[in-house]
Structure 1
Amino acid sequence: MNQRNSHDTAPDNTALDNAALHEANTRAAHRVTLIGAILDTLLGLVKVIAGIIVGSAALVADGIHSFSDLVTDVFVLVATHYGRQAPDRNHPYGHGRIETMGTLALGSVLIFVAGGIAWASLSRLLDGVPIAPPGYWVIALAAVSLIVKEWIFRYTLRVARKIGSRLIEANAWHSRSDALSTVVVLIGLIGAQFGVGWLDAVAAIGVGLLVGKIGGSLLWDATRELVDTALPDDEQRGMRNVALDVPGVRDLHQLRTRSVGERVLLDLHLVVAPRVTVSEAHEVGNQVCRELCRAFPKLSEVTFHIDPQDDSELDDPTQLPALPLRSDVEAMLERVWGNLECWRQRVALDLHYLDNRIDVSLYIGDTYRDADLNRLAASLRDAGASLPWLGRLRVWQGPGKA
């Protein structure tokens, strides 16, 4: 039995709380990105204008870099808007992978930015391009710009980690790359002011390598998510322990996890007592979902499969011999038991598919109050000896289970 449960399986208002939290997180993502976009626009304009006035190519390039942050801010706004939409018919698992793809793109941008910084700086170093003294007011302007970009980075990173968005975190590191490039420009301006302009190129090469490392890390994390990499082993062990603590769960196997954006999806097989009712086994699974979602807030969906016995050692359970289903079973039993009165007057029939056999429980009415149930079971066994799939046979007296 398979069952797919989302976070709303709990009997409280968890689903409503999660929806409100998701909406609040989306608003926070948009707000921090808009603030960054506004500041990037202002910084870009100021740097370009100041660079043109004093003739600093590095400052003009830094201003253009700030404008590139504005482009990525717009991209992030679009990606978070669509990536945090609720699941729909065409995207039943949600749109979280849009954010993952956005992280992949931003990681690539950081690597290109790193390469550009390092290459341009190395070229300046080799060419020995002189830089005229810019003036202390330009140095002060670059210092203020550095402080603002560092604040944007820390604010964006704090929001990203609070709402669990790798895309926003990637954008934060992109802002940090702009701050680092401003550091390079600041060093170059100070060096130029005192006649040591080559410091700019040396520092820029190191910054380029650092930015490239950040971009590579983001690319690696996004790629792992896109190929459905499982959660760390300690988290999987924690999930297993929570599920095993639920009464009615005898064992579990095939626990599989993956991430979709900020959400975590879980599949697992639960082993329950072989003769419990479908509804009881289903409720055991529901309780497992509730406990897991309470213990792991990022877990948004659990798909569980109910097993009456442990089949974890089977390489491919679908290769097991096919047993007849109820309609065929009743037809076969009618053929061999049709002349027996206890069969004709049955009130219920239970089938248990265990160990590649079918155990049969036959319920008879009150007219057999004084009947020898063992004798009836023996006669049924003899009459059904030709059925290769017939396992354990039991006769019960009473209304039975419908």
Structure 2
Amino acid sequence: MEKTLKKVTTFAVVTNTFLAVIKIITGILFNSMAVLADGIDSSTDIITSIIVFLATRYSSKPPDKLHPYGHTKAENIGAKIISFIVFYAGISLLIESFLKLVKKEYILIPGFLPLFVTLISVLFKTILFIVEYRIGKKYNRSSLVAEALNMRNDIMLSTIVFLGVFLNKTGLAWMDPLVGILMSVIIIKVAFEIFSENAHLLLDGIHPEDEWIYDAILKVCKDCGKIKNPHKIRVRKIGINYDIDMDIEVEPNMTVKESHELTKCIKEKLINITNNKIYDVVIHVEPLENIEIEPYGIRGDYEKTNHTNNNNS
């Protein structure tokens, strides 16, 4: 796996460097704001590729005394950094393109090299997107998926640049800075998508698409039998795996061995349901008090305390 990731990230850095150089040079030589902006965007991709390169390696380090849960969140941090870089590039491009359009600082672009360069960009970016997205999803590497999404954005940008340059050459000189503005809006949108995609994991939470795990936990508790009032259920992601904390109640006269068998039942069923994507399941066993308790988060303790106080009064 590590060799595959190394090859992908190295290929991304080399490809983005090549594309950035040819587009920036072409944009300067032919005075094209759209092509130059596309080149600048590719320059940010070089930085993001390097960040992904470093993050994927650091996140693969095994757990240690200071990091008992491992280093997988390094990839989420890397994705956050990528979102900030992409956002800055989008804002800078928006301002520059807007000023060009307002001041009417645009000309008809000479030659056909800018069109050819943008076609090359679309081709290579498409290859990069396919490779990075498939590998990122296969090994659940969030920073690699984040870069792939940015690459998908670049494909659209280069396509828009091609159309803008083409229309510019037909006599619509103002299309060049206008395309720059459209590109910047798309870039900023992608930056927000990358940021929000990783916010849940950095906050020790889960993505909305993983909410099904809570219903699965409650169902497992019911299927195992003799388990009452599962509560304080908390789930977070560590890499691709679920880390689960929860409390359950059992009959007060149940032996330690019997209650232990129930916790084993919960863990085994959760492992099967999640296709072995369980980092750990920590279950606290309590004596049954015949009080319905809110199953999620710390509200369970709050509800339980209130019921107990009411009964005592």
TM-score (norm 2): 0.83
Q: Which deviates further from its counterpart, 253-262 or 119-128? A: 253-262
Match of 2:243 in 1: 265
1:129-140, aligned counterparts within 5 Å?
A: 129-140=105-116
- Quickly say closer, same or farther: Cα 1:214–1:50, change in 2 above 3 A: closer
CA distance in 2, matches of 1:213, 1:185: 18
1:293 aligns with 2:301: no
Match of 1:21 in 2: none
Amino acid aligned to 2:281: V
CA distance in 2, matches of 1:205, 1:70: 22
1:253 aligns with 2:240: no
Cα distance, 1:69 vs structure 2: 1.0
Match of 2:261 in 1: 283
Match of 2:296 in 1: none
Cα distance, 1:60 vs structure 2: 4.0
Post-superposition CA distance 1:143-176 (Å, at most 9, x none): 1211211331233223223332322121112223
SS at match of 1:245: helix
Amino acid aligned to 1:304: I
Give structure 1 stretches of 5+ with no counterpart.
1-23, 322-355, 357-402
Match of 2:86 in 1: 110
1:48 aligns with 2:24: yes
Structure with the largest fraction of helix: 2
1:304 aligns with 2:313: no
Post-superposition CA distance 1:304-346 (Å, at most 9, x none): 1112324746539899x9xxxxxxxxxxxxxxxxxxxxxxxxx
Cα distance, 1:278 vs structure 2: 1.7
RMSD of the TM alignment (CA)?
Answer: 3.0
Cα distance, 1:90 vs structure 2: 0.8
Return the match for 1:169 from 131, 145, 151. Answer: 145
Post-superposition CA distance 1:99-144 (Å, at most 9, x none): 2222221112222122122222212211222334332243122112
Structure with the largest fraction of strand: 1
SS at match of 2:242: strand
Give structure 2 stretches of 5+ with no counterpart.
294-299
Match of 1:315 in 2: 302
Return the match for 2:65 from 85, 89, 93. Answer: 89
Which runs of 4 or more aligned residues in structure 1 lie more than 6 Å from their structure 2 counterparts after TM superposition? 316-319
Match of 2:196 in 1: 220
Contact map agreement 2:157 2:183 (CA 8 A) in 1? yes
TM-score (norm 1): 0.66
Q: Which deviates further from its counterpart, 59-68 or 167-176? A: 59-68
Amino acid aligned to 1:112: Y
- Quickly say closer, same or farther: Cα 1:102–1:317, change in 2 above 3 A: same
Amino acid aligned to 1:306: V
Identity percentage over the alignment?
Answer: 25
Post-superposition CA distance 1:170-212 (Å, at most 9, x none): 1112223433442343233213322212112223322322221
Bigger radius of gyration: 1
